[in-house]
Amino acid sequence: MGALLRSEEMTLCQLFLQSEAAYTCVSELGELGLVQFRDLNPDVNAFQRKFVNEVRRCDEMERKLRFLEKEIKKDGIPMLDTGDNPDAPAPREMIDLEATFEKLENEMKEVNANSEALKRNFLELTELKHILRKTQTFFEERFKKYTDKARHREHIFRSNRITIFDTMSKVWSNDLTDRIKTYVSEKLQRLPLKGIVVRDHTEIVNPLEDPVTGDQVYKSVFIIFFQGDQLKSRVKKICEGFRATLYPCPETPAERREMAIGVMTRIEDLNTVLGQTQDHRHRVLVAAARNIKVWFIKVRKIKAIYYTLNQFNIESSQKCLIAECWCPVEDLDRIQQALRRGTERSGSSVPSILNKMGTKQTPPTYNRTNKFTEAFQAIVDSYGVSTYREINPAPFTIISFPFLFAVMFGDIGHGLIMAIFGIFLIIREKYFMAKKIEDEIFATFFGGRYIITLMGLFSIYTGFLYNDVFSKSLNVFGSSWFPIDPQTNKGYTSATLHGSTNLQLDPNTSYVGGGPYPFGLDPIWQMSSNKITATNSLKMKLSVIFGVTQMLFGVILSLLNHRHFKNKLNIICEFIPQVIFMCSIFGYLCILVFYKWTHFTVSDLGKDPNLLIGLINMFLMQRKKTDVPMYPGQYGFEKFLVFLAFVCVPWMWLAKPLWLRHQHRFGQHHYQPVATQNGNLIDDEECIYHDEFDSKHTDDNEEEVIT
């Protein structure tokens, strides 16, 4: 319970690692996850540290892996994730990984470049195919209607015509596309040149794939007739402004048919080559998808190791690395074993040394968690991390958080749905953990599965208290009310009930239960018109009681912290006035609530005091002559409580600052020497070292084997 109630006891340790064993030792400590290293080079630039080149190499490998991951996702290939957590590879394996990633990246870039070139060629041939088809149709339809004079004019323009392939993005609306076409046509028609410009355009129904972005784009064929080189240059400039592609058009139908046959043949060949290219790309990506998750883990572990090594000091001879770290006292043996394993893996004959150090610095807070307490600890940490060795509120939050939620969300039906959903996530947690679903919303629900389950169960309990199931009531124990006419002291007759829309029940005559309802709320309140008024009054009083109880509990926990740290000043100047202030106002209010519940019955209806008005009058110290005290001596006792509350305000605000100021002025505290190093070894320092055979504990006066 000690480890659960308070954060782990931490100690500052100093590590002496041989250069050849430092990598493997840090790797083992990282797998253990119980060590927090300190940066011993805070003034050294990140680009001037010893292992900066290795970190850059890891960044480059991560970039290549992200490139491969992007290509894999682009093709929709599933990435195998077995859930394995491989160890960090040896430094010499880093070269093999770099070579593998370099080969895959170059191969993918080459395949992408070839594929893009083939797709661009395919796009051009496809455009040319549509141009030949559309122009052939155009000439066949239009030239049949021309007169001999028009045909003669076409013969004049034949050597001066071009076909323009215009690109229209798929994301543009039809209205925008029509506007662009209209603008182009008007621009061509308004050219201030002598000559005639005859133009026509037609749509291509099927979209074409852009070779760079892969988007589907819609295109149109524009056929333009012009006369003269000056007009030709103007037309080309306009087409270039709209990023249109220009294609020459053969003069005779025979030439157009011959070109079309050649284009179709080349398209078929390109389709075959493109298919083979895509198959090769798919095979490469499938092979990479089998290992990319493992590669990511390995590269990130290598990077984390070298990043940690950059925080170490290097001994002048370059043979030893010195590190400082915080670690739990209970886990020193496990840390020692990890160092021994790291030394054995490296093949070093010199053991790594672990020294416990004395320091005045405040250690970091480390709270052990498991899959059940992890979510509750995260909620507490979101409001603030407790100071080292303070009481951890998370164990108490396991009960208080879902219960207070249920007080606000008391419904049997909704609580049952939440509980079933949470239990389902708990039962299937291994399956969902293996799936590693990356959806953020689902990850939030899955991480809080135990919270959801407890909230659902508590909501079911409070739902029974409120007698509420999807805003309906349960009639389990019957009703303690019976409709009795207060004038005749007999039950309402059918004649009285007929045509009546609102009947009032007098508790003195209609409440026949004779005592409290067995459990929860009487179902008759579901039919009453003043249900909200009555239940809100009950819930408000319960909320005040629970809130004051929780605040008082938090203050009591602060007393345990003060006693643990032997801080009598905080007990006298903080805890005592806080308790007095809370109890004299809010604690007294809670006592009045219970007093009213137990001492006022239905016979006192209308005579019971209003607690809110009474609390206001307590501070104003104003009473009406008609007011009747709830108990003898109430008004005098309330004045005494108000006096205590006012006394506690300066007590909390001024007592501690004035006392500390007095100590500072008259030298009542002792100054401590400032350390000139990162950490000070204690006088009788404790040195823990190991070799490949055993582990020993050495002092100045004794030596014993650690088991």
Annotate 581-627 with DSSP letters as a single string. Answer: HHIIIIIHHHHHHHHHHHH--GGGTTTSPPHHHHHHHHHHT---TT-
Separation CA 441–CA 606 (nearest Å): 52
Span 184-215, pLDDT tens digits: 555 555 544 444 454 566 777 777 777 777 77
C-alpha gyration radius of the chain: 42
Q: Is the dihedral of CA 399, 405, 410, 413 positive or negative?
A: negative
Q: Which has the closest alpha carbon to 426: 442, 449, 443, 407?
A: 449
Distances (CA, A) of 248 to 236, 259, 293: 12, 11, 51
The residue ranges of the chain whose pLDDT is under 50 are 1, 147, 149, 152, 154-179, 191-196, 198, 671-707
Please give the structure tokens belonging to residue 191: 């050219």
- pLDDT for 706 equals 31
Contact at 8 Å (CB) between 221 and 201? yes
Span 56-87, pLDDT tens digits: 999 999 999 999 999 999 888 988 877 778 88
Distances (CA, A) of 357 to 32, 39, 678, 695, 697: 21, 16, 10, 19, 15
DSSP-assigned letter for residue 325: E
How buried is residue 237: exposed, middle or buried, by Cβ count under 10 Å (0-12/13-18/19+)? exposed
How buried is residue 327: exposed, middle or buried, by Cβ count under 10 Å (0-12/13-18/19+)? buried
Which backbone phi and psi does 10 adopt, to 5 degrees?
A: -110, 155
Number of other residues whose CB lies within 10 A of the CB of residue 650 = 11
Separation CA 556–CA 673 (nearest Å): 35
3-class secondary-structure state, position 92:
coil
Place of tokens 């409440």: 511
Separation CA 225–CA 232 (nearest Å): 9
230: left (phi over 0), alpha (psi -120 to 50) or beta: alpha
Distances (CA, A) of 204 to 132, 211, 220: 12, 18, 6
Contact at 8 Å (CB) between 129 and 263? yes
Number of other residues whose CB lies within 10 A of the CB of residue 420 = 13
Distances (CA, A) of 13 to 249, 328, 359, 639: 83, 10, 10, 58
Please give the structure tokens belonging to residue 422: 């949470």
Which backbone phi and psi does 449 adopt, to 5 degrees?
A: -65, -35
Q: Which amino acid is present at 196?
A: I
Separation CA 324–CA 25 (nearest Å): 14
DSSP-assigned letter for residue 362: P
The H helix count followed by the E strand count for the chain is 24, 15
Contact at 8 Å (CB) between 392 and 367? yes
DSSP-assigned letter for residue 189: H
Residues paired with residue 485 on neighbouring β-strands, in sequence order: 490
Strand intervals (E) in 108-174: 161-169
Q: Which amino acid is present at 206?
A: N
Length of the chain as a residue count: 707
Q: How far apart are the first and last CA of the chain?
A: 24
Separation CA 692–CA 339 (nearest Å): 10
Place of tokens 């905080």: 570
- pLDDT for 297 equals 94
3-class secondary-structure state, position 15:
strand
- pLDDT for 181 equals 53
The vertex-638 CA angle with 636 and 640, nearest 5°, equals 75
3-class secondary-structure state, position 697:
strand
Q: Which amino acid is present at 547?
A: G
Separation CA 400–CA 612 (nearest Å): 26
Interacting residues of 133 by C-beta distance below 8 A, sequence separation 6+: 260
Number of other residues whose CB lies within 10 A of the CB of residue 417 = 14
